[in-house]
Amino acid sequence: MTVAQTLAIVPNRFVLEHLPNSVFPEDDEWVALVRAPEGLTVVREAPPSVEADRWVGFYGGETAHSLDVPGMLAAVISPLAEARVSVFVASTYHADLVLVPEYKLEVAMAALQEAGHKIKP
Tell me which amino acid residue 18 is.
H
pTM for the whole structure: 0.86
The topology under which CATH files domain 6-120 is VC0802-like (3.30.2130)
| CA 98 to mean position of chain CA atoms | 2
Q: Secondary structure of the chain: what % helix, strand, coil (to 5)?
A: 20, 35, 40
Biggest CA-to-CA distance, the chain = 43
* pLDDT tens-digit map of 32-70: 888 888 888 989 999 888 778 999 999 986 666 667 777
